C-alpha cells in the first residue's frame, strides 16, 4: 500500500477527527476514497498516544508571580518606577523609547552568525552592519 505524504496524513487525521465525510475529504484533498477508508480503519485500530487525561504535575506549574505593590488610594505609581535610573541614563545618551533592532547575518553552510543590536536604523547603519559582519567572518574563518 502506498503511503501518503506526512502533510496529507496530518490533514487526513484532522479531518477524520472532525467527523468529515470521506466523500468531502476526497473532494478537498484529492485522496481516493478507498485510501481514506483504509487510513480510517488503521487509525481506529491504533492505540491512543497517551491513555487517559493529561493532568500535569506540580513541577510543571509556572512559578508564582511576585506580589504587586499596592499604592495608596488616589496615588498612581508607574510600573517603570523601579527602572527610573536606567531610563534616565539612556535618555541622557539621546536614546528614545524606540525598540532596538537586532541585526543578524548567518552564513549558509557553516551557520556562523554575526549579531549586533542598534538603536537607530538608516541606510548608513545598515551598510555599516554589513561591513562589520563581513570583516568578522573574514577574521573568524
User: How far apart are the C-alpha atoms of 86 and 95, rounded to whole Å?
Assistant: 11
Only one residue has cell 487509525, namely 43
Q: Is residue 25 part of a domain?
A: yes
Q: Is residue 54 part of a domain?
A: no
User: How far apart are the C-alpha atoms of 112 and 55, rounded to whole Å?
Assistant: 42
Q: Is residue 22 part of a domain?
A: yes
Per-residue pLDDT at 140 exceeds 90? no
Segment 30-85, tens digit of pLDDT? 889 999 999 889 888 877 665 555 555 555 566 666 666 666 677 777 777 888 88
Task: Provide the 3-class DSSP secondary structure of residue 69.
Answer: coil
Q: Is residue 52 part of a domain?
A: no
Q: Is residue 38 part of a domain?
A: yes
The whole-model pTM stands at: 0.35
Q: Is residue 76 part of a domain?
A: no
The pLDDT of residue 53 is: 54
The dihedral of CA 134, 135, 138, 141: what is its sign? negative
Q: Per-residue pLDDT averaged across 19-28, rounded?
A: 89
Structural domain count, the chain = 2
Tell me the H-state helices in 18-101. Answer: 22-29, 33-45, 84-92
Q: Is residue 65 part of a domain?
A: no
Identify the band that residue 87 occupies on the pLDDT scale cut at 50, 70 and 90. confident
Domain residues for the domain of 40 are 7-45
Amino acid at each position: 500500500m502506498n503511503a501518503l505524504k506526512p502533510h496529507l496524513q496530518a490533514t487526513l487525521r484532522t479531518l477524520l477527527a472532525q467527523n468529515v465525510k470521506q466523500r468531502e475529504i476526497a473532494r478537498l484533498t484529492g485522496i481516493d476514497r478507498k485510501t481514506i477508508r483504509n487510513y480510517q480503519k488503521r487509525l481506529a485500530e491504533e492505540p491512543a498516544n497517551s491513555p487517559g487525561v493529561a493532568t500535569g504535575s506540580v513541577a510543571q506549574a509556572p512559578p508564582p508571580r511576585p506580589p504587586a505593590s499596592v499604592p495608596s488610594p488616589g496615588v498612581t505609581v508607574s510600573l517603570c518606577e523601579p527602572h527610573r535610573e536606567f531610563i534616565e541614563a539612556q535618555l541622557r545618551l539621546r536614546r528614545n523609547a524606540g525598540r532596538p533592532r537586532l541585526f543578524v547575518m548567518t552564513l549558509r553552510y557553516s551557520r556562523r552568525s554575526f549579531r549586533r543590536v542598534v538603536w537607530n536604523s538608516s541606510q548608513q547603519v545598515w551598510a555599516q552592519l554589513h561591513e562589520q559582519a563581513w570583516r568578522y567572518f573574514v577574521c573568524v574563518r
